[in-house]
Amino acid sequence: MWFIGSNPLLGHDSPVDTIRSDRFEEAEAAATSMAEDGFLG
């Protein structure tokens, strides 16, 4: 669900949409944050 859901760390875009928009570094940072700290929203 995390991959397709709205994410506050990505301006409420989903990680999949972020990757489609060539914003790989942002998606990676959000994934790292989730893995290390848990989901914020």
b (16+ CB within 10 A) / e for 9-36: bbeebbbeebbeeebeebbeebeeeeee
- Residue 36: C-alpha distances to residues 20, 24, 30 (Å): 24, 18, 10
3-15: pLDDT as tens digits: 899 999 999 999 9
pLDDT, position 32 = 93
pLDDT, position 37 = 83
pLDDT, position 34 = 87
Q: Is the pLDDT confidence value at 41 over 60?
A: no
19-38: pLDDT as tens digits: 999 999 999 999 999 889 87
pLDDT, position 40 = 58
Q: What does 1-40 look like in DSSP terms, one character per residue?
A: -TTTS-BGGGTTB-HHHHHHTT-HHHHHHHHHHHHHH---
